[in-house]
Amino acid sequence: MNADRLGDLPMTTTPKPSGPVRRSRRWLLRKSIASVAGLAACATFPAGGTVFGRGATPSRRQLAREIEQVLWQKILPAWYPRSLDAEHGGFWENFAEDWSRRPASSKFLVYQARMTWVPAAVAICYPDRREPYLEYTRHGARFLRDRMWDSEHGGFLDRTDLQGRPDRVTMPWKQMYSLAFGLYAAATSYEATSDAQTLQLAQDAFGWIEQHAHDPEHGGYHEHLTAAGQPVSVDVPDAPLGRGLPVIGLVGHKSMNAHIHVLEALIALRRIWDDSRLIERLNEVFLIVRDRIVCPNGHLAMFCRRDFTPLDERSSFGHELETAYLLTEAAELLHRDDDAKTGQVALRLVEHSLRWGWDQQHGGFFDEGPPEGNATHRQKVWWVQPEAMNGLLTADQLTGGKDPRYYDTYVHTWRFFRDRMVDPVHGGCFDTVAEDGSPLPERRHKATPWKAAYHVTRALLLAAQRLPEENP
């Protein structure tokens, strides 16, 4: 396949992104781990320490410009304003390969929140192009506030029907994973718009979660709650609960997936709100993720008991790389005195994924595998590739660009995603491709309740912000 098949995009001038880059704090984090950067030199690749020759590798500024072109010409126009439901509010959730709308029966909090977050993040990063993205995020925030907030019990509903009425039949519970995204969207939408009602929504969401889901004994959060906010099970039940319901995770367990996204949401809220309880909780969840969920070898404890005793350890390469990025983001806000440890953990996560998750033959990252050993889920999933970019860019910047493997693999991950997963005809990206990058006819759809614009947009915005920076 032609590696430049998207290279015919017109070379338009893209405004320089702004937003909360926070370079000075990241520079301090890099400096603090300089003495342990030898960890990054682990021999996980062929002799010579690099996977690819540096000769053909573009400069960071060149790559940032290319990524911005794809963002503005192939990703964002595919989603907005097409996905807005102008009649009932919120966003349409199901689109085929050609972006024709497919049947749907409900609106899901995770998708609605992600689609609210994306235009807010775009507006923050590109002030000169923030219109109409401010209106898109306001549109989403109104739906979250007016339709997805439970007027009877508080907290976000997990689902509504297509008209925005509560759907307590499909899912009568509230779920921590979904609630985290509602909070994340509200906080970021307020950062973009300064709308007082959206700030109140974010604060109310945090307050409800604190009152009903926080575990004061062991820390972290109960992940499945009744409509009124009572934990469905405070610890691992004798038999599985929730059969027949669209349960995220396992009832009575604490999961990696919910807690890294709680961390993500608390980071966003901390950027707009100075609150002592929020800072305490951000620090608590940060330590849980860094010290309990990340395992010594760099894989993850996917599910744990209430006290975070691991029950299921696995390699989930997209999550490992995403967690490396989120830990460093949290460390910037917390100003802890153990930045070196955080940097080591982040690099350990990236190194583990490079060793077992990177496909040296075809490019791209596999999906999952055992804690140590070859990947078993070897198809290439859309969200894994952009999260890999986030983790690799984090490692590259933590080590001051001195280990070429991180940037080289970043470039080749981007090229795999660009050439194999971005749709050059209709825009957007395919859901999943085969191990070798060949199409899977049944996985070429563009949107489902679980497939929104969030993962891809976040990675491309991060690239536009941080790639052009000079390493000190």
What's the per-residue H, E or C state across 323-376?
HHHHHHHHHHHHCCCCHHHHHHHHHHHHHHHHHHCECCCCCCECCEECCCCCCC
- CA 353 from chain centre, in angstroms, equals 16
The CATH code belonging to domain 1-79+313-472 is 1.50.10.10
Residue 42 has pLDDT above 60, yes or no: no
Q: What is the pLDDT of residue 373?
A: 97
The span from the CA of 89 to the CA of 313, in Å, is: 40
The CATH code belonging to domain 104-236+247-293 is 1.50.10.10
pLDDT bin (cut points 50, 70, 90) of residue 285 is very high
> Six-digit token pair at 303?
């599910």
The per-residue pLDDT of the chain, averaged, comes to: 91
Helices (H), 271-338: 276-288, 317-334
Please report, for residues 143, 149, 189, 191, 382, the alpha-carbon distance to residue 116 in angstroms, rounded to integers and kept in the order given: 9, 15, 7, 12, 20
Residue 461 has pLDDT above 50, yes or no: yes
Q: What is the pLDDT of residue 56?
A: 73
> Six-digit token pair at 109?
């909090």
Q: What is the pLDDT of residue 471?
A: 52
Between 6-10, 32-36, 219-223, 355-359, the lowest mean confidence (pLDDT) is in 6-10
- Is 314 in a helix, a strand, or coil? strand
> Could you tell me whether strands 254-255 and 224-225 are parallel, antiparallel, or unpaired per DSSP bridges?
unpaired
Please report, for residues 154, 167, 436, 447, the alpha-carbon distance to residue 162 in angstroms, rounded to integers and kept in the order given: 20, 9, 38, 16
Domain boundaries, the chain: 1-79+313-472, 104-236+247-293
Residue 53 has pLDDT above 60, yes or no: no
* Tens-digit pLDDT profile for residues 128-163: 999 999 999 999 999 999 999 999 999 999 999 999
Q: What is the pLDDT of residue 222?
A: 98
Nearest Cα to 156, choosing from 93, 101, 90? Answer: 90
Nearest Cα to 148, choosing from 193, 102, 88, 207? Answer: 88
The span from the CA of 416 to the CA of 404, in Å, is: 18
Which positions ≥6 away from 199 have C-beta within 8 Å? Answer: 186, 190, 272, 273
* Tens-digit pLDDT profile for residues 231-269: 999 999 999 999 999 999 999 999 999 999 999 999 999
Nearest Cα to 6, choosing from 449, 396, 416? Answer: 416
> Six-digit token pair at 304?
């744990």
Q: What is the pLDDT of residue 16?
A: 53
Please, which residues bridge with residue 238 across strands? none
**Are the folds of 1-79+313-472 and 104-236+247-293 the same?**
yes
Residue 350 has pLDDT above 50, yes or no: yes
- CA 260 from chain centre, in angstroms, equals 9
The string over 373-387, giving b where at least 16 C-beta atoms fall within 10 Å of a residue's C-beta and e elsewhere, is eebeebbbbbbbbbb
* Tens-digit pLDDT profile for residues 366-414: 999 999 999 999 999 999 999 999 999 999 999 999 999 999 999 999 9
- Is 256 in a helix, a strand, or coil? helix
The span from the CA of 109 to the CA of 116, in Å, is: 10
pLDDT bin (cut points 50, 70, 90) of residue 40 is very low
The span from the CA of 218 to the CA of 309, in Å, is: 11
Return the residue matching tokens 């910037």.
Answer: 332
Helices then strands, each counted (H, E), the chain: 14, 10
Q: What is the pLDDT of residue 469?
A: 77
Q: At CA 354, angle to CA 352 and CA 360, rounded to 5?
A: 145
Which positions ≥6 away from 42 have C-beta within 8 Å? Answer: 351, 355
Helices (H), 21-166: 23-32, 60-70, 76-79, 109-125, 130-143
* Tens-digit pLDDT profile for residues 289-346: 999 999 999 999 999 999 999 999 999 999 999 999 999 999 999 999 899 999 999 9
